[in-house]
């Protein structure tokens, strides 16, 4: 919010549920008919709003895009920029808690809201997840293995980083960028300068390539009083840097799954985290056995957890709502095996055939405009049923 004075007392109203203790120890939950504010009106905000509705909660979606799909399922909305302090102050004054669907909430926005209402997950989680270098260092400080990495702020650092990590390697901007945007592969060390320039000489991180056998992710949650819950690991396949499919269970050794959960618990505790957190891992084979490297975290519900709505008593969306509203966490057990496939762009136009699949749960996001590669929906195939009853003719 450039140019604006820091934290003006726009409304002067502090919600009743605000407390001065740590974020995870909150006395008073948001009750049914209370209002959960959500920054972002895409499919994740929409699915959180649907989950909140099922718990009797109201949602207030804040998004600059007037065509946001989440607006169709919420009683209250604000169409405004994320740096519009007047709109933010009004929003904060009429919600009981605020969460978000994307990790790139500007730090100033997060601070502004956190001063006025409960922001969950907290600003620390956002700050760590927004900056690839800070994120990697956060892991390293805790002995959590990652791909080799080095900071790239200028040409000298670039040279040092390439000397340390070698090529091929991936140069990524520290901030922003998702689904493969904001990154460039360096095949040979003398391609480095060109790649750095292609990224606008922004602050970057150079990451070594990892020879992984598969990618898996862990979706877990932390609620009030430090209660935690985790879903089963999902095995993820990407195409063109976009998630294509997630399958549960992921075939990884039990000790590997346990290691993922241990890492998750450390991150949840050290971030004083409240809400659903997703952690992406590379599975690597080493002489000592199967091991995990953390790729990145997302302080929000995650595409690789969409299968939970079809396979668990509590979906990741409901779990996140429960956590950020101070409710007890819900049950994460899978009742079936499942495989979630994203429907990208025109693929969703095959909805009549997709809706016909008797083994699948279809979810479409109600987006008006189809664009290449745009996430339009997903479909979760149920791979194993406990029972076989009821029928269609």
- Residues of this chain that interact with a copy of itself (CB under 8 A) are 29, 31-33, 46, 50, 53-58, 71-75, 227-232, 249, 310, 312-314, 322, 327-337, 348, 351-352, 355-356, 358-368, 377, 382, 384-393
**Could you give the CA distance from residue 280 to residue 139 in angstroms, rounded to a whole number?**
13
Shortest distance, CB of residue 117 to a copy of itself, whole angstroms? Answer: 20
Shortest distance, CB of residue 149 to a copy of itself, whole angstroms? Answer: 31
Q: Which is nearer to a copy of itself, 46 or 132 (CB)?
A: 46
**Could you give the CA distance from residue 293 to residue 91 in angstroms, rounded to a whole number?**
39
Q: Which is nearer to a copy of itself, 169 or 329 (CB)?
A: 329
Shortest distance, CB of residue 70 to a copy of itself, whole angstroms? Answer: 10
Exposure on the CB side of residue 158, measured as CA atoms within 13 A: 23
Shortest distance, CB of residue 235 to a copy of itself, whole angstroms? Answer: 14
320 close to 20: Cβ distance less than 8 angstroms: no
Shortest distance, CB of residue 4 to a copy of itself, whole angstroms? Answer: 33
**Could you give the CA distance from residue 131 to residue 121 in angstroms, rounded to a whole number?**
16
Shortest distance, CB of residue 135 to a copy of itself, whole angstroms? Answer: 25
Angle between helix 43-54 and helix 316-324 axes, rounded to 10 deg: 70
**Could you give the CA distance from residue 294 to residue 146 in angstroms, rounded to a whole number?**
5
CA dihedral for 341, 343, 347, 353, sign (positive or negative): positive
Q: Which is nearer to a copy of itself, 100 or 231 (CB)?
A: 231
Q: Which is nearer to a copy of itself, 285 or 359 (CB)?
A: 359
Q: Which is nearer to a copy of itself, 169 or 325 (CB)?
A: 325
Q: Which is nearer to a copy of itself, 98 or 332 (CB)?
A: 332
Give the strands of the sheet with 149-152, arranged side by side.
149-152, 204-208, 169-173, 183-186
Contacts by 9-12 with C-beta closer than 8 Å and gap 24+?
10/85, 10/86, 10/89, 10/90, 11/89, 11/90, 11/92, 11/93, 11/116
Shortest distance, CB of residue 14 to a copy of itself, whole angstroms? Answer: 24
Q: Which is nearer to a copy of itself, 137 or 334 (CB)?
A: 334
Shortest distance, CB of residue 313 to a copy of itself, whole angstroms? Answer: 5
99 close to 320: Cβ distance less than 8 angstroms: yes
Q: Which is nearer to a copy of itself, 50 or 171 (CB)?
A: 50
Q: Which is nearer to a copy of itself, 86 or 227 (CB)?
A: 227
Full DSSP string of 287-298: TTEEEEEEEEEE
**Could you give the CA distance from residue 149 to residue 140 in angstroms, rounded to a whole number?**
10
Shortest distance, CB of residue 371 to a copy of itself, whole angstroms? Answer: 15
Residues found in the chain: 393
210 close to 282: Cβ distance less than 8 angstroms: yes
């Amino acid at each position: 919010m450039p140019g604006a004075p820091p934290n003006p007392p726009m409304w002067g109203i502090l919600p009743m549920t605000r407390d001065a203790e740590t974020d995870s120890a909150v006395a008073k939950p948001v009750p049914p008919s209370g209002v959960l504010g959500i920054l972002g009106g895409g499919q994740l905000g929409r699915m959180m709003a649907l989950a909140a509705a099922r718990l009797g909660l109201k949602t207030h979606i804040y998004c600059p895009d007037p065509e946001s799909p989440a607006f169709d399922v919420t009683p209250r909305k604000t169409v405004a920029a994320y740096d519009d302090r007047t709109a933010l102050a009004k929003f904060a004054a009429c919600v009981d808690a605020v969460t978000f669907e994307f990790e790139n909430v500007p730090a100033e926005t997060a601070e502004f809201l956190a001063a006025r209402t409960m922001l969950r997950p907290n600003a620390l989680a956002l700050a760590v997840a927004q900056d690839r270098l800070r994120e990697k260092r956060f892991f390293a400080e805790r002995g959590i293995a990652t791909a080799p990495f080095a900071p790239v702020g200028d040409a000298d650092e670039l040279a040092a980083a390439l000397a340390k990590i070698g090529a091929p390697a991936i140069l990524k901007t520290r901030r922003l960028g998702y689904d493969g945007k904001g990154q460039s592969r360096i095949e040979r060390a003398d391609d480095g300068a060109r790649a750095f320039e292609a990224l606008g000489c922004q602050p970057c991180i150079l990451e070594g390539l990892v020879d992984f056998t598969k990618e898996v992710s862990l979706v877990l949650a932390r609620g009030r009083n430090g209660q935690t819950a985790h879903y089963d690991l999902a095995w993820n396949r990407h195409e063109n840097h976009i998630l294509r499919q997630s399958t549960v269970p992921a075939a990884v050794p039990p000790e590997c799954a346990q290691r993922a959960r241990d890492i998750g618990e450390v991150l949840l505790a050290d971030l004083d985290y409240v809400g659903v957190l997703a952690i992406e891992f590379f599975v690597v084979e080493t002489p000592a056995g199967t091991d995990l490297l953390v790729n990145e975290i997302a302080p929000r519900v995650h595409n690789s957890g969409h299968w939970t709505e079809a396979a668990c008593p509590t979906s990741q969306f409901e779990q996140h709502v429960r956590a950020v509203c101070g409710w007890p966490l819900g049950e994460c057990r899978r009742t079936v095996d499942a495989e979630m496939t994203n429907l990208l762009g025109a693929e969703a136009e095959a909805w009549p055939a997709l809706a016909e699949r008797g083994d699948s749960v279809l979810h479409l996001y109600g987006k008006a405009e189809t664009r290449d590669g745009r996430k339009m929906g997903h479909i979760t195939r149920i791979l194993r049923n406990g029972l076989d009853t009821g029928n269609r003719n």
